[in-house]
Chain A
Amino acid sequence: MSVEYNKEHPIPVPALHPDNQGFWEGVERQELVLQRCKGCGTWSHPPRPMCPKCRSQEREWSPASGKGTVYSWVTYREAPHPGFKAPYSVVLVELEEGVRLVSNLVGVGPEEIAIGMPVEVVFDQVNDETLLPKFRKAG
């Protein structure tokens, strides 16, 4: 099971900004990229204008493996926004790079979700304008 939408009520779309747009430009190319420090190699998410480890402002967008595990999850039984059909689940995925992403699962129902479940990135065209990185169960 995946998140279902009420098409007549558009869901909130990512708000682009000079500090985060590299992530969403990667998504447009169907590529998961994460911010990495050119100085010390530390991965950051959410993106920051400065490396919290070494304070370098030399940032780059590096391809990520797209593999990780479910770190935590919740299921909305009532939709807080008319664009979403409840119930739907939101997961917090811990990526191999050590950072976490808030996302949704594709093809996995709430009863199947478990902490530690291996997952991999997929790209979901949620409406005409928006592509979102989501995750499916990995083998």
Chain B
Amino acid sequence: MDGIKDKAAIVGVALSEFSADSGKTELRMSCEVIKAALDDAGLVVTDVDGLVKQSEDASDEHAITSSMGMGNLTYFGEVKWGAAPCAMVLRSAVAVAAGSAKCVVVYRAVNGSSKLRMIPSMKTSGQMSTSDLLQWTFHSPYGLMTETGSVAMLVRRYMHETDAKAEQFGWVTTVCRENGARNPEGLYYEQSITLEDYLASRIVVDPLRELDCYKESDCAAAFVITTPEMAKDLKQPPAVIRGCAQSMVGETERMNSYYRPDIARLPEVGRVAERMFRMAGVRPQDIDVAQLDDAYAPLVPLQLEELGFCGRGEGAAYCEGGDRIRLGGEIPLNTSGGSLGEGHIHGMNHVVEAVRQIRGTSTGQVKGAELALVATGAGGPAAGLILGR
């Protein structure tokens, strides 16, 4: 199954500034960031013939095409949930490899801080889909109505089964903030923290602390995906898609997969790993740098296990002390800071950072990085990406 290996490349990326209040509509942010990603690639708006959006995004494709004067789309569609960044790359790469489009733009803009996102459980039943109703009706009356609470349930069970400790999870946030402190574009520039700061942060939903969890921010991001042939003549060295995969398994729920035999695992990430490593023809030890879903710090050790960077139940110990996961370590993680140390744009910045690593332009550059991995969607449907030169 070579699939789409080497048949598409990310040639342009852009990230708006992260802020607490953008003062702009999401549509304006999307138009600006798409234009910036095309400029980065050395392409123009009229080169674009495909658009892929996240299904919860505020701006539909027609609003983008009308605003930007994109004259001729031959491919468009949407991808759901937290795994979307890598899954949108997959959909774009499939389109490009099949010839349905030559130049696909992926975009996402969120005013997550200035305009709080709606929590699904707070919707009235008339506004909920049948599938949401099935799930939420058994959770909300008991007060389990936030993503943080949903994740905390899984984390408690993981701590019980593996003996993982908060002191070990804290190193994930500490290393992300160490990386974010080097990144002048992020929200936490020159604001590193210590493990003591982490342990002193307030408990939100026991066992999760404030510093385990991402903070909402306003931001937009876009990537441009095209064929390797077209990529040759563009402004930037291409980040070639070596492996890319998506996974949902039986008993996957959105963030509450409580009804399967073992809830303290991320089987979707395991399946993604299996597929994308096989497609790329590489092993975990060949990866130079990885951007993992760090919306919740304790889910990083679980991803390290599922991706094969360490064994089952060893993830938290692997992170302890930070040396294996920081710059210069065995597998440097979230080198621009990720959600915890740069800002939260639902994993879009993780893809942007992987591209920077391949180009050699990161503020946390891994010297000579040739293979960069991204994982999005920990705790529900998952997706992953391996980029190379």
Give the contacts of A5-56 with B (CB-CB under 8 A): 11-17, 19-20, 45-48, 52
Interface string of B151-174 (1 = CB under 8 A from A): 011101100100000000000000
How far apart are B299's CB and chain A's nearest CB, in angstroms? Answer: 15
Query: A57 in the interface, Cβ–Cβ < 8 Å?
Result: no
Question: Is B143 in contact with A20, judged by CB distance below 8 angstroms?
Answer: no
Query: A100 in the interface, Cβ–Cβ < 8 Å?
Result: yes
- A100 vs B142: C-alpha distance in the bound complex, in angstroms? 14
- A117 vs B124: C-alpha distance in the bound complex, in angstroms? 34
Interface string of A75-115 (1 = CB under 8 A from B): 11111110010001010100000011111100000100001
What residues of chain A lie closer than 8 Å to B121, measured between beta carbons? 12
Query: B205 in the interface, Cβ–Cβ < 8 Å?
Result: yes
What residues of chain B lie closer than 8 Å to A16, measured between beta carbons? 137
Give the contacts of B75-133 with A (CB-CB under 8 A): 119, 121-122, 125, 128, 130, 133
Query: A61 in the interface, Cβ–Cβ < 8 Å?
Result: no
Query: A72 in the interface, Cβ–Cβ < 8 Å?
Result: yes
What residues of chain B lie closer than 8 Å to A79, measured between beta carbons? 143
Question: Is A102 in contact with B138, judged by CB distance below 8 angstroms?
Answer: yes
Question: Is B154 in contact with A90, judged by CB distance below 8 angstroms?
Answer: no
Query: B63 in the interface, Cβ–Cβ < 8 Å?
Result: no
Q: Name A3's closest neighbour in chain B (CB-CB).
A: B143
What residues of chain B lie closer than 8 Å to A75, measured between beta carbons? 205-206
Question: Is A90 in contact with B142, judged by CB distance below 8 angstroms?
Answer: yes
Question: Is B136 in contact with A90, judged by CB distance below 8 angstroms?
Answer: no
Query: B282 in the interface, Cβ–Cβ < 8 Å?
Result: no
Query: B236 in the interface, Cβ–Cβ < 8 Å?
Result: no
Among A75, A90, A102, A130, the one with the most B-chain Cβ atoms within 10 Å of its Cβ is: A102
How far apart are B70's CB and chain A's nearest CB, in angstroms? Answer: 40
Question: Is B140 in contact with A72, judged by CB distance below 8 angstroms?
Answer: no
Among B149, B154, B202, B205, the one with the most A-chain Cβ atoms within 10 Å of its Cβ is: B205
How far apart are B138's CB and chain A's nearest CB, in angstroms? Answer: 5
What residues of chain B lie closer than 8 Å to A80, measured between beta carbons? 119, 143, 145-146, 149
Interface string of B258-279 (1 = CB under 8 A from A): 1100010000000000000000
Interface size on A, residues (CB 8 A): 41
Q: Name A15's closest neighbour in chain B (CB-CB).
A: B125
Given contacts A80-B149, A99-B259, contact A12 B156 (CB under 8 A): no
Interface string of A121-136 (1 = CB under 8 A from B): 0000010001010000
Question: Is B145 in contact with A81, judged by CB distance below 8 angstroms?
Answer: yes
Query: B207 in the interface, Cβ–Cβ < 8 Å?
Result: yes
Given contacts A15-B128, A73-B156, A104-B143, contact A78 B138 (CB under 8 A): no
Given contacts A12-B140, A99-B259, A104-B142, contact A76 B149 (CB under 8 A): yes
Question: Is B259 in contact with A11, judged by CB distance below 8 angstroms?
Answer: no
Question: Is B140 in contact with A73, judged by CB distance below 8 angstroms?
Answer: no
What residues of chain B lie closer than 8 Å to A48, measured between beta carbons? 134
- A116 vs B208: C-alpha distance in the bound complex, in angstroms? 21
What residues of chain B lie closer than 8 Å to A45, measured between beta carbons? 138, 259
26 A-B residue pairings within 8 Å (CB atoms)? A12-B122, A12-B140, A13-B141, A15-B136, A15-B137, A17-B130, A17-B134, A20-B134, A45-B138, A71-B157, A72-B154, A74-B206, A76-B205, A78-B204, A80-B143, A80-B149, A81-B145, A90-B143, A100-B259, A102-B138, A102-B144, A103-B142, A104-B143, A110-B206, A115-B160, A126-B141
Given contacts A15-B133, A72-B153, A77-B204, 7 further A-B contacts (CB under 8 A): A3-B142, A12-B122, A73-B153, A74-B156, A74-B205, A90-B144, A99-B259
Residues of A within 8 A of B (CB): 3, 11-17, 19-20, 45-48, 52, 71-81, 84, 88, 90, 92, 99-104, 110, 115, 126, 130, 132
Residues of B within 8 A of A (CB): 119, 121-122, 125, 128, 130, 133-146, 149, 152-154, 156-157, 160, 202-208, 250-251, 256, 258-259, 263
